[in-house]
């Protein structure tokens, strides 16, 4: 009796202290660089939407700092012997925000929704998946038409996000207005261009890792204003900090900065075969001119001036620190003399071309620096500023000679190169079309062995970098700034902020 | 009146209303200051190559974002260009933006307004409804949509602003025409047998000139601001060519560490626009005999 | 009077028709295939084809116009393609925000403009006249996005007195709402202050030299009373109707002000929609604002008419 009453008093004392602490709701106010589009994983198409999904919707798999596949809603996977079937074991005890059970039937529903829903942006990502079998409530099997190495990486992104079948069927197209997923936070409200509010889902399977009660995402497109909001205390966290703001933030003890190199790249795409403009322009016609152009660039200098040093130089579609980087093709150093010699050899000592540049400030800075660097080798680069939407269309039609292009990047290297270099693919703006490249690209996605794939990418790099339909210049740093009261941020190269482990002290 | 009839031999010299207005203008100090500043910037723009110490496009990696110093009076920008030279050359873009846009608006607006007011009838109805429609759309939205349609460049921005500003001049001209149309001397000119065109140009149009001049001056001020606004959105003068608006747009990212990049173009826009406004107000007072 | 009213009302229909054609044409003529930017980074050809079909992009322009107008007449302004929300819902959401911003801006503009106009008229040709002039013109001469950023840096970042952005509904928290709106309203109101000042000034000058005021002065009334009680009241009438007419300017100014202060109103909605080629949004919102503007214009004209009996007789 005495023990219980003593225990009771201790418990009371603990509660008296803990309650106020627990009662102080931990709200994270997060500044986004854009307003996300539809919050439906099947229809969504923006990068910034994925940041919100990181809190709202769990996926079958996730990636870690080294881009390895780790379990989330799935616990393990197994390829069949012929590599044409992937059996996935699912986590038990997971529920959706509306209480529905997460099981193999739900996975089948979701994969089929991603593949078949009108307007789905995931169709291409899951193209090789021919059918889904429910083996038992905790196991599902994806049957493929051909082996497909990038599949796991796709399932670690939107294509692997699972929504509640009941809610999806009830809402149909309007599901995105009130998404029901199985992530650590559930949807509360959204006011377009103003805020997206999510609150903690108490039955999350990994609730031990979740310390925040509420997250409010606020889209503020202007980087200066976004930073001002952080400094004035209205926001706790901002993404995509302007590179020139970093020095002042470093000296401000109220805030912390985190950075990591992106999985994407910034580069210049050259029209080598997309339209007849390729033949009319010396840059598109002659690979020696392209080589001279690349040699006239000082990548370090571009990063220094245009990005204030907040980028890693590169020459391939994956960063030098990526395990799939082809070490046989290192980054060339600037060599103006050799550039001039090549141009003389090609018979065009002063080639002139137009560089189509989207009106984003990064692209414009890069273009201006490139223009002045290339001038020293004899190039006359004309900058043509084009509104982003228009530039996409012009690139698609081949209405350009060179184009400053950024790609946000995918976890699997295939996502950074296949659609860009394979014949007639939607993102192949350069118009390159060579059967040997296509063959290697196909092999790279159907070979599952990592060692083998690395060798194939080395062969690809040797071919592509010699032809230079794209000149890769650098890989930006994702830059986050947040209040020093926040801890637990994991820096992952895809630029998304995972909420597991985040804590406000 | 009685003294005039008594001293017929000493009639005062005829001074045209225009000349009288100019005299009144000269007496208003604010307007004169405005005029002076406008002329100053115009000279700056004209003599830019001679006055600018550096090439406005010359980049220098070693001189990125340097504070104002003896070498660079206004400092340097984010890729090492001299801000003073860019401000001087930028005067060209900003003045052009103002003057050309308004010229376009006048070139389209005045004839259309004249036609609407003079001819009347269903033509007037049609033109008036179309003008109302254009005025009902927010000016900047029209300009943005037009500039996005034409493509981002200073020329297209000027066209977009000019077209968006046309309805005001149509209305103004039409109102002036309507006022004068029923005057006796116009009827007399008709009776004498003057052609419609002659009447419109010689008798009616001059009446519209004063309010048009006032509005044009004020519109130039608004057009300079509009160019800055379009540049802020990425639709105006494109880098590397300098314009105060696009310089402001770039500078806002560097306010903390390089405030001089913003101060000088901002100040220039402010001074130029203020001067046009003062001048326009002065002209309005000068032409309006009642505000003595 | 009645026939004037009917005539003005009848004019609204063709005007709105032209507005619809104008804004529809501008949107649809924007270069490039909107499906490309709406389709997503991967530019999946299936999605693009689906969007073409959904938005009738392959049909001729007049047919698309009829689809849209048909919908509008039924009360359906279409959906935002980007976030899949009906345009009407977006309008209902954002309209109160921009209206509040505009109303606050007008109040500030009146405060600045009328005061400056009175001072300028009463103290004509003195240094106060020029000072008032410059003060009121200052707002018109500074790009409002510029002023906004400067004010944010001063009041939010450096002094910490006011929030840097965002919007709280006045029904939720009036104090927070006003705190967030005061800076953008000031920026917006500044620009209109100049116009109000000019009109106040010229109206005051007219009234101050009128017989009415001379009589009041002759009666020996205090100059303050003359100015404030008699002159100002008469001068204000045309000035107030100006408020309605400046609605268009307010909306233009709101475009950038909302962008800088991140206020979720009409202006921000339209700009983003233009760049994202979200046609339905731009068309629907402009149509709404145009209707509002035309209505306000009509009301202002009527008010002016009623106040000024002399104009009634001179109607053509």
CA A132 to chain centroid: 26
pLDDT band at A497 (very low <50, low <70, confident <90, very high): very high
CB contact under 8 A, A385 and B253: no
Beta bridge partners of A407: A265
Query: Cα–Cα distance between B287 and B272 in angstroms, integer?
Result: 22
Are A376 and A335 a contacting pair, CB within 8 Å? no
pLDDT of A8: 54
pLDDT of C36: 81
Higher pLDDT, A215 or B145: A215
Are B218 and B277 a contacting pair, CB within 8 Å? yes
Q: Which helix (H) or strand (E) holds A238?
A: strand A237-238
Residue A126: how many other CB atoms lie within 10 Å:
22
Min mean pLDDT across A346-355, B35-44, C247-256 is at C247-256
Reading phi first (left if > 0) and then psi (alpha if -120 to 50, else beta), residue A318 is in beta
Tokens for B138, please give them. 């927010």
Which chain A residues are within 8 Å of B63, Cβ to Cβ? Answer: none
pLDDT of A462: 94
- Nearest-Cα distance to chain A for B90, in Å, is 18
Residue closest to B225 by CA, chosen among C252, C266, C268: C252
Range of C32-46, C75-89, C247-261 with top mean pLDDT:
C75-89
Residue B11 has pLDDT above 60, yes or no: no
Residue C82 has pLDDT above 90, yes or no: no
Q: What is the pLDDT of residues A71-104, one digit of tens each?
A: 999 999 999 999 999 999 999 999 999 999 999 9
Reading phi first (left if > 0) and then psi (alpha if -120 to 50, else beta), residue A83 is in left
Residue closest to C147 by CA, chosen among B252, B242, B227, B93: B252
Which chain B residues are within 8 Å of A368, Cβ to Cβ? Answer: 59, 79, 239-240
Is ipTM over 0.85?
Answer: no
Query: Cα–Cα distance between B245 and B147 in angstroms, integer?
Result: 15
pLDDT of A269: 95
Min mean pLDDT across A337-351, A405-419, C141-155 is at C141-155
Reading phi first (left if > 0) and then psi (alpha if -120 to 50, else beta), residue C8 is in alpha
The interface residues of chain C toward chain B in range 107-136, judged by CB-CB distance below 8 A, are 130, 133-134
pLDDT of A388: 82
pLDDT of C244: 62
Q: What is the pLDDT of residues A132-182, one digit of tens each?
A: 999 999 999 999 999 999 999 999 999 999 999 999 999 988 899 999 999
Residue closest to C117 by CA, chosen among C102, C137, C103: C137
Q: What is the pLDDT of residues A247-283, one digit of tens each?
A: 889 999 999 999 999 999 999 999 998 888 888 888 9
Which chain B residues are within 8 Å of A252, Cβ to Cβ? Answer: none
Higher pLDDT, C124 or C180: C180
CA B67 to chain centroid: 33
Mutate to test the interface with A, among C47, C91, C101, C177 (most CBs of A within 10 A): C47
Mean pLDDT, chain A, integer: 90
Which chain B residues are within 8 Å of C249, Cβ to Cβ? Answer: 139
Mean pLDDT, chain C, integer: 80
Of the partner residues A223, A245, A386, the one whose CB lies closest to the CB of residue B152: A386
Report the chain C residue with the minimal C-alpha distance to residue A389: C37
Beta bridge partners of A161: A59
- Please state the pTM of the whole predicted model: 0.84
- DSSP per residue, chain B: -HHHHHTGGGPPPP--HHHHHHHHHHH-HHHHHHHHHHHHHHHHHHTHHHH-SS-TT---GGGTTPPS-SSSTT-B-TTS-BHHHHHHHHHHHHHHHHHHHHHHHHHHHHHHHHHHHHH-HHHHHHHHHHHHHHHHS-HHHHHHHHHHHH-SSHHHHHHHHHHHHHHHHHHHHHHHHHHHHTSHHHHHHHHHT--HHHIIIIIIHHHHHHHHHHHHHHHHHHHHHHHHHHHHTT-SSPTTS--HHHHHHHHGGGTTT-THHHHHHHHHHHHHHHHHHHHHHHHHHHH-TT--
State mean pLDDT over B3-22.
Answer: 58
Q: What per-residue string of b and e applies to B196-226 under the rule 16 or more CB within 10 Å gives b?
A: eeebbeebbbebbebbbbbbbbbbbbbbbbb
pLDDT of B146: 83
Sequence-ordered list of residues with C-beta below 8 angstroms from that of C46, at least 6 positions apart, any chain: A123, A124
Tell me the three-class secondary structure of B175-218, residue by residue: HHHHHHHCCHHHHHHHHHCCCHHHHHHHHHHHHHHHHHHHHHHH
Residue C11 DSSP SS3: helix
pLDDT of C98: 85
Are A153 and A63 a contacting pair, CB within 8 Å? yes
Residue A56 has pLDDT above 90, yes or no: yes
Mutate to test the interface with B, among A225, A368, A385, A399 (most CBs of B within 10 A): A385
DSSP summary character for residue A42: T
pLDDT band at C153 (very low <50, low <70, confident <90, very high): confident
Q: What is the pLDDT of residues A193-202, one digit of tens each?
A: 889 999 999 9
Are A270 and A351 a contacting pair, CB within 8 Å? no
Min mean pLDDT across A192-196, B32-36, B236-240 is at B236-240
Q: What is the pLDDT of residues A37-53, one digit of tens each?
A: 899 999 998 899 999 99
- Nearest-Cα distance to chain C for B56, in Å, is 23
Query: Cα–Cα distance between C93 and C99 in angstroms, integer?
Result: 11
Tell me the three-class secondary structure of A422-447, residue by residue: CCCCCCCCCCCCCHHHHHHHHHHHHC
Query: Cα–Cα distance between A177 and A166 in angstroms, integer?
Result: 15
Residue A118: how many other CB atoms lie within 10 Å:
13
Reading phi first (left if > 0) and then psi (alpha if -120 to 50, else beta), residue C125 is in left
CB contact under 8 A, A218 and C166: yes
Residue C198 has pLDDT above 60, yes or no: yes
Q: Note if the bond before C111 is cis, omega within 30 degrees.
A: no
The interface residues of chain A toward chain C in range 253-272, judged by CB-CB distance below 8 A, are none
Query: Cα–Cα distance between C159 and C155 in angstroms, integer?
Result: 5
Mean pLDDT, chain B, integer: 82
- DSSP per residue, A59-114: BSEEE-TT--EEESSEEEEEE-TTSSEEEEEEPSS-B-TTSPBP-HHHHHHHHHHH
pLDDT of A78: 94
Residue C220 has pLDDT above 60, yes or no: yes
CB contact under 8 A, B138 and C145: no
- DSSP per residue, A269-281: EE-SSSSTHHHHS
pLDDT of A89: 95
Sequence-ordered list of residues with C-beta below 8 angstroms from that of C99, at least 6 positions apart, any chain: none
Query: Cα–Cα distance between A190 and A215 in angstroms, integer?
Result: 12
CB contact under 8 A, B253 and A301: no
Q: What is the pLDDT of residues B76-111, one digit of tens each?
A: 888 888 889 999 999 998 899 899 999 999 999 999
- Nearest-Cα distance to chain C for A223, in Å, is 10
End-to-end Cα spacing for chain B:
22
pLDDT of A24: 62
Tell me the three-class secondary structure of A279-326, residue by residue: HHCHHHHCHHHHHHHHHCCCHHHHHHHHHCCCEEECCCCCCCCCCCCC
Which chain A residues are within 8 Å of C272, Cβ to Cβ? Answer: 35, 193
Q: Dihedral, CA atoms, A292, A295, A297, A298, nearest 10 degrees?
A: -170
Report the chain C residue with the minimal C-alpha distance to residue B225: C143
A&B contacts, CB < 8 Å: 62
Residue A1 has pLDDT above 70, yes or no: no
What is the percent of chain C with per-residue pLDDT over 70, rounded to a whole number? 87
Query: Cα–Cα distance between A290 and A286 in angstroms, integer?
Result: 7
Q: Phi first, then psi: what are they for C272, rounded to 5°?
A: -60, -40
pLDDT of B1: 44
State mean pLDDT over A426-437.
Answer: 92
pLDDT of B2: 46
Residue A16 has pLDDT above 70, yes or no: no
Residue B51 forms contact with C (CB below 8 Å): no
A&C contacts, CB < 8 Å: 132
At CA A197, angle to CA A192 and CA A202, rounded to 5?
A: 150
Min mean pLDDT across A216-220, B249-253, C216-220, C262-266 is at C216-220
Give the C-alpha distances (Å, rounded to integers) separating C245 from B103, C13, C218.
25, 19, 37
Start-end of H helices in A156-245 = 165-171, 223-231
Q: What is the pLDDT of residues C128-138, one digit of tens each?
A: 877 887 777 78
Mutate to test the interface with B, among A387, A394, A399 (most CBs of B within 10 A): A387
């Amino acid at each position: 009796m005495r023990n219980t009453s003593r225990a009771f008093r201790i418990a009371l004392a603990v509660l008296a202290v803990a309650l106020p602490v627990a009662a102080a709701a931990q709200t994270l106010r997060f500044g986004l660089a854009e307003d996300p589009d539809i919050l439906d994983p099947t229809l969504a198409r923006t990068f910034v939407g994925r940041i919100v999904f990181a809190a709202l919707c769990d996926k079958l798999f996730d990636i870690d700092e080294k881009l390895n596949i780790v379990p989330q809603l799935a616990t393990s996977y197994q390829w069949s012997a012929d590599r044409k079937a992937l059996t996935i074991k699912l986590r038990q005890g997971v529920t959706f925000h509306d209480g529905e059970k997460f099981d193999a039937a739900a996975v089948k529903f979701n994969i089929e929704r991603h593949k078949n829903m009108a307007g789905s942006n995931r169709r291409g990502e899951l193209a090789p998946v021919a059918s889904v079998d429910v083996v038992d409530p905790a196991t599902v099997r994806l049957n493929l038409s051909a082996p497909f190495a990038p599949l796991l990486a796709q399932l670690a992104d939107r294509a692997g996000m699972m929504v509640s079948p009941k809610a999806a069927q009830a809402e149909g197209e309007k599901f995105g207005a009130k998404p029901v997923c199985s992530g650590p936070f559930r949807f509360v409200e959204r006011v377009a261009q103003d805020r997206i509010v999510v609150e903690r889902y108490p039955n999350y399977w990994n609730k031990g890792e979740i310390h925040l009660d509420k997250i409010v995402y606020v889209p503020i497109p202007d980087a200066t204003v976004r930073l001002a909001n952080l400094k004035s205390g209205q926001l706790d966290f901002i993404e995509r900090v302007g590179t020139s703001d970093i020095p002042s933030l470093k000296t401000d003890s109220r805030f912390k900065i985190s950075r990591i190199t992106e999985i994407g790249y910034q580069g210049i795409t050259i029209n080598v075969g997309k339209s007849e403009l390729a033949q009319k322009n010396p840059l598109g016609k002659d690979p020696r001119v392209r080589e001279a152009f690349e040699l006239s660039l000082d990548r370090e200098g571009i990063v220094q001036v245009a990005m204030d040093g907040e980028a890693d130089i590169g020459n391939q579609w994956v960063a030098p620190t990526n395990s799939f980087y082809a070490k046989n093709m290192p980054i060339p150093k600037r060599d103006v003399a050799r550039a001039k010699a090549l141009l003389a050899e090609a018979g065009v000592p002063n080639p002139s071309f137009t560089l189509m540049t989207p009106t984003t400030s990064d692209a414009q800075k890069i273009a201006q620096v490139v223009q002045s660097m290339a001038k020293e080798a004899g190039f006359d680069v004309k900058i043509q500023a084009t509104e982003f939407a228009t530039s996409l269309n012009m690139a698609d039609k081949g209405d350009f000679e060179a184009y400053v292009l950024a790609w946000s990047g995918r976890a699997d290297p295939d996502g950074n190169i296949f659609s860009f270099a394979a014949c007639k693919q939607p993102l192949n703006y350069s118009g390159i079309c060579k059967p040997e490249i296509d063959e290697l690209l196909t092999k790279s996605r159907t070979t599952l062995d990592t060692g083998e794939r690395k060798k194939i990418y080395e062969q690809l790099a040797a071919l592509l970098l010699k032809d230079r339909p794209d000149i890769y210049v650098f890989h930006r740093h994702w830059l986050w700034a947040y209040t020093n009261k926040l801890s637990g941020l994991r820096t992952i190269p895809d630029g998304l902020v995972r909420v597991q482990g985040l804590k406000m002290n | 009146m009685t003294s005039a009839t008594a001293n017929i031999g000493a009639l005062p010299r005829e001074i045209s209303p225009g000349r009288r207005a100019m005299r009144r203008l000269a007496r208003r100090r604010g307007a004169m200051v405005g005029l002076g500043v406008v002329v100053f910037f115009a000279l700056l723009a004209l003599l830019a190559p001679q006055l600018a110490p550096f090439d406005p496009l010359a980049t220098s990696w070693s001189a990125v974002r340097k504070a104002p110093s003896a070498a660079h009076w206004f400092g340097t920008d984010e890729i090492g260009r001299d801000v003073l030279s860019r401000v001087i050359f930028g005067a060209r873009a900003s003045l052009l933006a103002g003057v050309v846009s308004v010229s376009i608006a006048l070139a389209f607006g005045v004839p259309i307004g004249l036609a609407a007011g003079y001819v009347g009838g269903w033509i007037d109805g049609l033109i008036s409804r179309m003008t109302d429609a254009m005025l009902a759309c927010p000016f900047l939205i029209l300009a943005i949509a037009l500039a996005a349609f034409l493509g981002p460049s200073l020329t297209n921005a000027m066209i977009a602003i000019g077209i968006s500003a046309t309805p005001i001049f149509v209305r103004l001209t039409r109102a002036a025409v309507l006022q004068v149309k029923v005057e006796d001397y116009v009827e007399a000119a008709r009776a004498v047998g003057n052609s419609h065109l002659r009447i419109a140009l010689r008798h009616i149009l001059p009446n519209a000139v004063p309010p048009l001049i006032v509005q044009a001056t004020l519109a130039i001020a608004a057009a300079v601001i509009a160019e800055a606004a379009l540049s802020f959105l990425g639709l105006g003068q494109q880098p590397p060519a300098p314009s105060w608006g696009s310089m402001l747009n770039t500078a806002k990212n560097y306010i903390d560490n390089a405030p001089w990049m913003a101060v000088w173009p901002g100040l220039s826009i402010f001074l130029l626009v203020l001067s046009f406004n003062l001048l326009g107000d002065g002209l309005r007072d000068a032409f309006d005999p009642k505000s003595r | 009077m009645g026939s004037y009213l009917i005539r003005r009302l009848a004019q609204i229909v063709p005007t709105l028709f032209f507005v619809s054609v104008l804004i529809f044409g501008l949107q649809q003529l924007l270069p490039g295939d909107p499906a490309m930017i709406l389709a997503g980074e991967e530019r999946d050809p299936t999605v693009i084809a689906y969007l073409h079909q959904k938005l009738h992009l392959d049909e001729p322009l007049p047919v698309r116009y009829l689809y849209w107008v048909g919908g509008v007449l039924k009360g359906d302004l279409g959906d935002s393609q980007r976030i899949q929300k009906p345009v009407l819902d977006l309008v209902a959401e954002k309209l109160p925000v921009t209206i509040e911003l505009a109303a606050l801006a007008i109040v500030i503009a009146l405060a600045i403009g009328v005061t400056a106009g009175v001072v300028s008229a009463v103290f004509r040709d003195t240094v106060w006249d020029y000072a008032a002039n410059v003060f009121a013109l200052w707002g018109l001469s500074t790009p409002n996005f510029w002023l906004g950023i400067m004010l944010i840096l001063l009041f939010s970042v450096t002094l910490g007195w006011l929030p840097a952005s965002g919007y709280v509904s006045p029904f939720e928290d009036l104090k927070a709402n006003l705190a967030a709106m005061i800076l953008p309203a000031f920026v917006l109101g500044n620009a209109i202050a100049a116009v109000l000042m000019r009109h106040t000034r010229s109206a005051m000058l007219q009234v101050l030299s009128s017989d009415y005021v001379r009589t009041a002065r002759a009666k020996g009334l205090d100059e303050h009373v003359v100015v404030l009680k008699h002159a100002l009241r008469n001068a204000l009438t045309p000035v107030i109707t100006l408020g309605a007419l400046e609605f268009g300017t307010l909306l233009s100014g709101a475009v950038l002000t909302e962008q800088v202060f991140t206020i979720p109103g009409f202006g921000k909605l339209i700009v983003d929609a233009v760049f994202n080629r979200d046609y339905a949004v731009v068309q629907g919102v402009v149509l709404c604002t145009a209707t509002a503007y035309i209505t306000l214009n009509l009301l202002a004209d009527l008010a002016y008419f009623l106040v000024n009996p002399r104009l009634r007789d001179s109607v053509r």
